[in-house]
Amino acid sequence: MRTQTAVATRTLAIDRSHSEVAFQVRHLLSKVRGRFTDFAGTIALDEANPEHSHVSVTINATSIDTAEPQRDAHLRSADFFDVEKFPTLTFESTSVVPRGRDTYDVVGDLTIHGTTRQVTLPASFLGAAQDPWGNTKHVFEAELTLNRKDFGLSWNAALETGGFLVGDDVKVTLSVQAK
């Protein structure tokens, strides 16, 4: 006789008001920081067997915000994200690999500007806690560096002093509360 165990996977929705998708990239000699303000996603979390978990995220490219309207308009243009043709950035996990206590490699397909590449998000599970309204929130963080040219974001301007205006490496930081 076989016994069947219950599947302990629960689907959590990313709480946008308490989460952040941020980035930074070199501009001249300093760094410009920005974020996307409109995104949604789910985490199918299996705490007993994290390798059975799944992550899906969609980011509205028009929501890019660097606190400079002219720069944001340029980033939305065909020189960069070309939001008319490519309105979203997406991530769909293909595997979750435990690395240690509450740390994971979330491997998946990241699509930006119509180009899909496999990336690995080194993620940390910070724990679960109940907010003042009785909602249980699961909190995660991840950080990785992408080369923007790998996704067809290659616009740049040569500087008279040598080098280029915009760096190739973009540091992406995710801070997620999901309920």
**pLDDT value of position 2:** 44
Instruction: Note the pLDDT of residue 157.
Output: 55
- Domains of the chain, residue spans: 9-178
What tokens were used for 157? Answer: 């301007």
CATH, domain 9-178, list 2.10.260.10, 2.40.128.110, 3.40.50.1970, 1.10.287.980: 2.40.128.110
pTM of structure: 0.88
- Please list the pLDDT of the chain residue by residue as tens digits (179 residues): 444 445 578 999 999 999 999 999 876 666 889 999 999 999 999 988 999 999 999 999 999 999 999 989 989 999 889 999 999 999 999 999 999 999 999 999 999 999 999 999 999 999 999 989 998 999 999 999 999 889 987 755 555 565 545 678 889 999 999 99
Q: Are 107 and 150 in contact (CB under 8 A)?
A: no
What pLDDT is recorded for position 45?
Answer: 92
- Per DSSP, the residues of 145-173 read EEEGGGGT-----B-TTSSBSEEEEEEEE
pLDDT value at residue 92 = 98
pLDDT at residue 114, as a whole number: 95
Which of 175, 163, 179, 161 minimizes the C-alpha distance to 22? 175
Asked if 117 and 154 touch (Cβ cutoff 8 Å), the reply is: no
